[in-house]
Structures are given as C-alpha cells and as structure tokens.
Amino acid sequence: MTPIKKIGLFTSGSDAPGMNAAIRAVIRTAVFNDIELAGIMRGFEGMINDDIQPLTTKSASNIIQRGGTILKASRSEEFKTAEGRDKAYKNLKKHGIDALVALGGNGTIKAVKEFGEEHPDIKIIAVPCTIDNDLRGSDFTIGYDTAINTVIEAVDKIRETAESHDRLFIVEVMGADSGMIALRTGIGVGAEAVMVPETKSDLDALYARLERGRKDKTSKIIMVAEGNEPGGAFQIGEAIKERYPNYDTRVSILGHIQRGGKPTCMDRVLASLLGVAAVEALIQGRTGEMVGLIHNEITFTPFGQSVKHHLDVNAEFTRIVEMLSL
C-alpha cells in the first residue's frame, strides 16, 4: 500500500453549516499524521484554475464555530467535461497531491466518482455536507441539524404573529426534491400539515385536514418543501385563499437563512468525527467512498450507492403530523 503524501481538501456545491468544522478536523488529523495538506479554493473551479495553496494548523484556528466555508464553494460546468477533469488532474499532480477529501453533497459525490474512475491513482474520500440530509450512508449529513434548528427558531416567531392576528401561514423551506427539513421541522413546530416532494400532494386532502382541525385554533402553520409539485408556497397560498377567503392567509419563504449561521454542537461534533475518519481512511488505503455515521458508528459507502435518492418518507412521522395537528 503506497502511503499518502499530500491531501487536497476542497468544498463544493452549496455551503452547509459545519463545513469549517470538518475542514479543521481534516487539517489537524493530516498534520498529526505528518501528511501535507493543500486547500483547493472554490471546489472544482480551483482545481481547474490551479487555485491551490498550502494549509497548516494555523489555517484551522478559530473556524470551528463559523458558518460557510473558508475554502469557498462553487459549481463547475467545465469539470463536467473530460477536458476540464484532465486539466484538474494535471494541476493536482503538479502540486504532488495524491489524495482528495471532498466536502459536499450529491453533485460533489457524482463528480468525484467520475473523476476517480478516470484517474484511479488519486485516492478520494467524500464527507457528506448538505442541509438536505438526502444521501445514503449517514444518518445525518453535516449542516442538517443547524438548518432545522434555524427553521424551528424562525417558525416559532412566525407562529407568534400568526396567533396575534388569527392567521394561516404557509412556510416554505429548502428541499428541491427532499422533504427531510419540512417533515422534521413540521413536527417540531406543531404544523397543521406538511407537504413534501417524496409524496404526491393532494390539495383536497389538505383542505380536509384544515376543515377537520379545531375551530378554535387561532393560528395555523403549513410547512412546504420548495420542490413540492403543486408549485410551492405561493401557489398553495393562492389555492387556499380561493377556497377559504375568510382565512387571513400569508406566505413566508425562509430561503437561504437555512444555509447560514453558526453550526450547532451536533453539526460540529459530526463534522469533527467525519473529518478525522476521512483522513484515516485515506491512510488505510480506502478510496471511492463516502464516510458517514450510522447508529453512532463510522461507516463507508461506495460513491455509487451514496448519491441522492428519493426515499419513502418516514411513515411514522407522517402519522404523527396528522394525529398531532388536530
């Protein structure tokens, strides 16, 4: 087994709270094991444009509590081409990089899977960083816990104004094709209904639930994942206004606040565990896998099995939402 000499570390795709904590863990684990480390700025774009610089222990100072990513993140159309990937490979070799730690979500893992198949001499381990929590191979992804706590805090405040004015609020959260944020926070805020892209939404069923609810409730909250097929919160809001003109109906789009902010303790610890495990996996000769945490045990899932998936939503969660919304 050829020992790892130099690791290239990068963040790609959308940022997620806890990325900096993972960066810190990778840096310090590499230094502890006397392995050189290089930071690749702006993900695959930096790899292609040779924006690569040394990382030291000092680079990891005072970043565990920061949101975003000190390495910056971007999406790269050029990396989707064989020419772009070949350019990236040549830059990695020029810097003596023989292994990569990739922090990102579905798009990042798909990209490094293809890159690794074309250039098997570069060992690659991915660390799941996405607020959507939609990757196989880890119970939770880095950023998810912070995002749902951000949603809870925001919707609690919305509930207060809804109570004050006897309003119905439709709250849209992130999740283009994953309802994990909407479903879990829907339970957490006591929503009257939750609409997610994994299941076909039925407006008639939503109307029935609103009519079935207690008549003396002075506020109502409907959680909607942004990828829900009726068209999102505004379209659902218009449908409700037309059906129930007596409701004072408002729409709130939480948007990118879900991706920002200081990571929670849970995300900081998860990022630290997975960052350490990623470097140690490379030292052990592993490659082409995503590191994760399942039932509090470090696990490794091949890239092809870890990419984004449509899961059946948790039936128990949906049952609880319906029962507790009365």
Token pair of 281, please? 């996996």
Count CA within 13 A, CB hemisphere, residue 260. Answer: 4
Tell me which long-range contacts 269-273 makes (C-beta under 8 A, separation of at least 24): 270/18, 270/140, 270/142, 270/145, 271/18, 271/19, 271/21, 271/22, 271/24, 271/25, 271/127, 271/129, 271/142, 272/21, 272/22, 272/24, 272/25, 272/64, 273/25, 273/298
Separation between Cα atoms, residue 42 and residue 107, nearest integer Å: 14
At position 33, the amino acid (one-letter code) is N
Residues 6+ apart with CB under 8 A from 231: none
Burial class (CB in 10 A: 0-12, 13-18, 19+), 37: buried
Q: Which residue(s) pair with 127 in the sheet?
A: 103
Separation between Cα atoms, residue 244 and residue 210, nearest integer Å: 10
Neighbours of 310 (CB within 10 A): 11
Token pair of 241, please? 């206004």
Instruction: Outline where DSSP puts E strands in 98-151.
Output: 99-104, 123-128
Does residue 312 carry a catalytic annotation?
A: no
Q: Of 15, 98, 132, 267, which is the active-site residue?
A: 132
Q: Which residues of 200-234 are buried (b: 16+ CB within 10 A; e: fewer)?
A: ebeeeebeebbeeeeeeeebbbbbbbbbbeeebbe
Question: Residues 175, 132: contact at Cβ < 8 Å?
Answer: yes
Q: Which residue(s) pair with 168 in the sheet?
A: 220, 249
Task: Give the residue numbers marked as catalytic.
Answer: 132
